[in-house]
Chain A
Amino acid sequence: MAETKTYREALREGMVHEMEQDESVVLMGEDIGVYGGTHLITDGLIDEYGPKRVMDTPISEGGFTGAAIGMAIMGMRPVVEMMTWNFSFLASDQIIQNAAKIRYFSGGQVEVPLVIRGPNGGGVQLSAQHTHSLENLYGHFPGLKVVSPVTPNDVKGMMITAIRDPNPVIFLEAGALYGTKGEVEEGDNAVEFGKARVAREGSDVTLIAYGRQVNLCMRAANTLEEEDGVNAEVIDLRSIRPFDEDTLVQSVEKTHRAVTVQEQWRWFGVASEVAAIIQERAFDSLDAPVQRVSGAEVPAPYARNLELEAFPSEKQVTNAARRALYIEEK
C-alpha cells in the first residue's frame, strides 16, 4: 500500500514509526518542540510525546550533539536535528572525534546508535553560510554512515533504517525538496543502506547524482531523449557511506559513458570518487572519460540568477552527456 506524501511528511512518518516502537528514541534540536521545527517536520510531536522525548535545546550544537553521543552510548537512540547542516561545523569535533571513533578506540566496548539529521544542500537563496552540501565531508570518515535520500519513500525508509542502525548516521535531507511529493509505502518500508537506486533505466549514458541533482538528471534525461534521441540511465546514489560501487559499475558496463553531477564544489568531492571507481573497475567499458558537473567554485551567492548559475544546470548536464557521446553540444 502506498500513498502520495510530501518529503516532509514521509520524513516525519519515519521518525514517528520508530518512536512508537522504541521508547529509547528521542528527538533533540533547536526549536523542534514548542516552535514546531523550522521546517515543520516535528510540528505537534511534543504534544504527543512530551518534552522528555522531544527536547528543545539551546543553541549549543557542540554541547547537545556531545550529550546525544553520551546518551547513545548509554543505550538511548537520540535523533538530533541540525537546524541546517551548515551549523554542524560547530558540532564537528563531537561528530568526527567522538561519534565516529569511540567504538574503535574503546576496542569495541561501546556503540553509538545516533542519528544526526537536517536539511542539506542549497538552492533557496540562503547565501554563503547557509549553503553547503556535506556528503563528501562526512563521507570521508570511517565510523560514520552517511545517507542522502531524495524521494519521499527513501527519506522515510532510510530514516527507519538509520534509527535502527547501531552506528552514528549522518542523515542529509534535501532541504530544497521538503515540499516535493512521491509515493510512500505504508508502515515499515525500511530502505537498506549501501544500495543505490536506478531512477531511470537507459542504455546510452549513465547520469549519476545524489540529492536534488537526481531530479535535475531526470529532467536532463528527458531532454536528451527528446532532442538527441539519447536514452540515459539515471542513478540516485542515496547511500554515500556505505557506497554502492556495483550498481555504478554495472551501469557503465552497459552504457559505456558516465556523467556525475553534484551541487558541491568539484575539488575533492563525491564526483571524484565516482570517477575514480568507474575508471578503476570499468576502464575497458569506457568510450569517453567520466564527465563531472559540479557547482561553481565560489561561496554560494544570494541573488537568484547568480545562485542558479552557481549550481549545475540542465544545460550543463545535457552537454556533458553529449560530450561523452561525441555529439554536438547545444
Chain B
Amino acid sequence: MPEVIMPKMGDAMEEGTLLKWLKSEGDDVSEGDAIAEIETDKVTLELEAEDAGTLAQLIASEGDEVPVGGAIAFIAGEGEEVPERGGSEAAGGEAEAEEGGDDGGGAQATATETEEEEESEGGAQAEAPSGNGAGGNGQFRASPIVRRLARENELDLSKIDGSGPAGRIVERDVKAAMERGDAKADGGGGQADGQAGVAAPEQPTEGQAQMQGFQPAKLPEPTEAEGTQLVEPTRMMKVIGERMTEAKQHVPHFYATVEVDMNNAMALRKQLNAQLEEEGIKLSVNDFVMKACAVALRNHPNLNAIYTTKGVELHQKVDMAMAVALDQGLITPVIRDAGSKGLAQISRESKDLATRAREGGLKPEEYQGGTITVSNMGMFGIESFTAIINPPQAAIIAVSSIVKRPTFDENGEVVPASMMKLTLSADHRIANGRDGAMYMAEVQKVLENPVMLMV
C-alpha cells in the first residue's frame, strides 16, 4: 500500500506544510500526477504521485504541518484497503520525541539495530553527516542507556556524535555532551505538533552562560502593550534566523575590504552589451563580480571549501551562490561550476535563477550546496557592508554600490573613478587573514584588468 509522505526537500527540512490538495479522495491517480501543493522553508512545489492507483485517504488537511516522512495520503492499488494507522511513524530529528511517550513505536524487546531498520521506511531521506550514526528517518544507533539518558535529560541525539562501532552513540558520548551542554533538545512542541505558533527563541543554557563568564541578556516576554504587534515568522524566516544565529555564534568570521576601480570593467561591460544586445543578453555588474570571484579562486583554492564534521573539504568546482532577497526572507540559488562558465552564461543563469527565486519556483538542488556566496546590495546605495557567512561555506563576498570618487592617476592628477567596495567575510577555521587578504587582492586585480576574465 503506497503511502504518500512528506518528502524531504532540503537537508535542513524537518517539516512541510500541505497547502492545497490538487486531487480529491477517490480520484484515480497516475504516476507523475500532481496531487498536492507543498510549502517548504524555501519553496512551494507540487508533490507528484509516485504510484498509480486511487487516492484512497487524505490524511493531512490543507494547512497542516507534516513532519518529513509523515504520511499525508494513501494510494490504494487494485482491491487494496487502507490499513489502520497504528503508532505513527513520527520521524524527524527529535530522537526523544520518538522515544518518549510513544508506545506505538518500537518494540522495546528488540535490539536497537533491528528497531531502526524496521522503522526506517518512507521516502528519500538525506543522510545526516555520518558521524552521528543516523540511519534514515533521523534514527540513531544508540545504546539503551543512551536512549534513557536522552529521555531523562531531554537531549537531542542528533546533536551528539557517536564514538561506538558504526557510529553508535554510547554512554561516554552522552556524558561528554551533557558536560558541554550542547545537546539539549529544541524547545518543545512547536515543530512536531502541527501548530504554527511562535516558538520562543532559544535562551542561552546555564552551561553556556557560565562559560561566557557573565549572563547574556535573556529575551523578554512580549509586552503586549498597545501599539505593538507580534509578527509570526514564516518557516523561511525561522530557518534563516536559526542559520544566521548559528553562523554568528559558531563560525569565527574575519573581514577584509578592497576598493575596486571599476572603470575598465564598466567600459568592457558597455562594449560587450552592445554586441550581446541582439541575443537579448545584458551583463550586469554583478555578473562581472561573480565571474571575477570565481576566477580568483583558482589561485586561492582554500577559500572554495566547506567545513565538515571531519574538517575542511576543498572543492575544485566553484559553485557560486548568489543572494536573492525575497519578501519573506532570502534565498541563495547556486550557479554550478561558475569558474568554467562565460559571462553570458552566468548572466543568463543568474537572471533565470533570480526570477524563479522570487516566484518561489526553485528546485532544492538549485539552492542547495554552493561553496561561496556573493551578496550584492549595490543597488541600494550601500557604500559598504559585511555579510554573514552561509555555513558550511568558507566565505561570502559583500558587493557594495559603485560610487564616483576622485582618485589619483599615475601622474598624481586627480581623476574621477567608479569605485566599488568588496568586503570578504571568511571562516577563520578554513582560511587565515593573509589568505583572505590575498584573495581579495586577486579579485581586485581581475576586476581592474577585466581581460583576465577571459582566461
Interface flag for A86 (CB, 8 Å): no
The residue that B147 contacts in the complex, of A256, A284, A289, A326, with Cβ under 8 A, is A284
Contact A256 B172 (CB under 8 A): no
Expressed in whole angstroms, the Cα–Cα distance for A288 and B145 within the complex equals: 9
Interface flag for A297 (CB, 8 Å): no
Interface flag for B428 (CB, 8 Å): no
| Min C-beta distance of A70 to chain B, whole Å | 46
A326-B163, A326-B164 in contact; A285/B172 too (CB < 8 A)? no
Interface flag for A286 (CB, 8 Å): yes
Interface residues of B in 123-177 (CB under 8 A from A): 143-148, 163-165, 170-172
A256-B145, A326-B163 in contact; A288/B108 too (CB < 8 A)? no
A 273-313 to B, binary, CB cutoff 8 A, 1 in contact else 0: 00000000001111111000000000000000000000000
Expressed in whole angstroms, the Cα–Cα distance for A287 and B170 within the complex equals: 6
| Min C-beta distance of B102 to chain A, whole Å | 16
Expressed in whole angstroms, the Cα–Cα distance for A256 and B164 within the complex equals: 15
| Min C-beta distance of A213 to chain B, whole Å | 26
A 32-48 to B, binary, CB cutoff 8 A, 1 in contact else 0: 00000000000000000
Chain B residues with CB under 8 Å of A287's CB are 143-146, 170-171
Interface residues of B in 173-232 (CB under 8 A from A): none
Chain A residues with CB under 8 Å of B170's CB are 287-288, 326
Residue of A nearest to B162 (CB): A326
Chain A residues with CB under 8 Å of B148's CB are 284-285
Expressed in whole angstroms, the Cα–Cα distance for A85 and B145 within the complex equals: 41
Contact B108 A283 (CB under 8 A): yes
Contact B108 A286 (CB under 8 A): no
Expressed in whole angstroms, the Cα–Cα distance for A285 and B146 within the complex equals: 8
Chain A residues with CB under 8 Å of B146's CB are 287
Contact B145 A286 (CB under 8 A): yes
Contact A286 B144 (CB under 8 A): yes
Expressed in whole angstroms, the Cα–Cα distance for A181 and B331 within the complex equals: 79
Chain A residues with CB under 8 Å of B165's CB are 326
The residue that A284 contacts in the complex, of B111, B145, B164, B172, with Cβ under 8 A, is B145
Central interface residue in A285, A287, A288, by most chain B CB within 10 Å: A287
Interface residues of A in 218-232 (CB under 8 A from B): none
Chain A residues with CB under 8 Å of B172's CB are 326
| Min C-beta distance of B337 to chain A, whole Å | 43
Expressed in whole angstroms, the Cα–Cα distance for A284 and B143 within the complex equals: 8
Q: How many residues of B contact A (CB 8 A)?
A: 15
B 100-113 to A, binary, CB cutoff 8 A, 1 in contact else 0: 00000000110100
Chain A residues with CB under 8 Å of B108's CB are 283
Chain B residues with CB under 8 Å of A285's CB are 144-145, 148
Expressed in whole angstroms, the Cα–Cα distance for A326 and B162 within the complex equals: 11
Expressed in whole angstroms, the Cα–Cα distance for A319 and B298 within the complex equals: 51
| Min C-beta distance of A67 to chain B, whole Å | 48
| Min C-beta distance of B225 to chain A, whole Å | 49
Expressed in whole angstroms, the Cα–Cα distance for A89 and B430 within the complex equals: 73
Chain B residues with CB under 8 Å of A326's CB are 163-165, 170, 172
Expressed in whole angstroms, the Cα–Cα distance for A326 and B145 within the complex equals: 14
Chain B residues with CB under 8 Å of A283's CB are 108-109, 144
Expressed in whole angstroms, the Cα–Cα distance for A263 and B243 within the complex equals: 58
Chain A residues with CB under 8 Å of B144's CB are 283-287
Chain A residues with CB under 8 Å of B109's CB are 283
Chain B residues with CB under 8 Å of A288's CB are 143, 164, 170
Residue of B nearest to A257 (CB): B171
Expressed in whole angstroms, the Cα–Cα distance for A286 and B142 within the complex equals: 10
Residue of A nearest to B142 (CB): A287
Residue of B nearest to A282 (CB): B144
Expressed in whole angstroms, the Cα–Cα distance for A268 and B145 within the complex equals: 27
Chain A residues with CB under 8 Å of B145's CB are 256, 284-287
Expressed in whole angstroms, the Cα–Cα distance for A254 and B81 within the complex equals: 50
Interface residues of B in 84-112 (CB under 8 A from A): 108-109, 111
A 11-23 to B, binary, CB cutoff 8 A, 1 in contact else 0: 0000000000000
Central interface residue in B145, B147, B172, by most chain A CB within 10 Å: B145
Interface residues of A in 189-217 (CB under 8 A from B): none
Residue of A nearest to B169 (CB): A287
Interface residues of A in 232-261 (CB under 8 A from B): 256
Chain A residues with CB under 8 Å of B164's CB are 288, 326
Central interface residue in B148, B163, B171, by most chain A CB within 10 Å: B171
| Min C-beta distance of A105 to chain B, whole Å | 35
Chain B residues with CB under 8 Å of A256's CB are 145, 171
Residue of A nearest to B174 (CB): A287
Central interface residue in B108, B143, B148, B164, by most chain A CB within 10 Å: B143
Central interface residue in A285, A286, A326, by most chain B CB within 10 Å: A326
Expressed in whole angstroms, the Cα–Cα distance for A288 and B143 within the complex equals: 6
Residue of A nearest to B143 (CB): A287
Expressed in whole angstroms, the Cα–Cα distance for A218 and B133 within the complex equals: 35
Expressed in whole angstroms, the Cα–Cα distance for A284 and B145 within the complex equals: 5
Expressed in whole angstroms, the Cα–Cα distance for A288 and B148 within the complex equals: 14
Expressed in whole angstroms, the Cα–Cα distance for A284 and B112 within the complex equals: 11
| Min C-beta distance of B108 to chain A, whole Å | 7
Expressed in whole angstroms, the Cα–Cα distance for A287 and B174 within the complex equals: 11
Chain A residues with CB under 8 Å of B171's CB are 256, 287
| Min C-beta distance of A138 to chain B, whole Å | 29
| Min C-beta distance of A205 to chain B, whole Å | 11
Residue of A nearest to B147 (CB): A284
| Min C-beta distance of B112 to chain A, whole Å | 9
Expressed in whole angstroms, the Cα–Cα distance for A285 and B147 within the complex equals: 9
Residue of B nearest to A283 (CB): B144
Query: Top 7 A-B pairs ranked by shortest CB distance?
Result: A287-B171, A284-B148, A287-B143, A286-B144, A287-B145, A284-B144, A326-B164
Question: Can you list 27 contacts pairing A with B, beta carbon distance less than 8 Å?
Answer: A256-B145, A256-B171, A283-B108, A283-B109, A284-B144, A284-B145, A284-B147, A284-B148, A285-B144, A285-B145, A285-B148, A286-B143, A286-B144, A287-B143, A287-B144, A287-B145, A287-B146, A287-B170, A287-B171, A288-B143, A288-B170, A289-B111, A326-B163, A326-B164, A326-B165, A326-B170, A326-B172
15 A-B pairs besides A283-B108, A285-B144, A288-B164 with CB distance below 8 A are A256-B145, A256-B171, A283-B144, A284-B144, A284-B145, A284-B148, A285-B145, A286-B144, A287-B143, A287-B145, A287-B146, A288-B143, A326-B164, A326-B170, A326-B172
B residues whose Cβ falls under 8 Å from a Cβ of A: 108-109, 111, 143-148, 163-165, 170-172
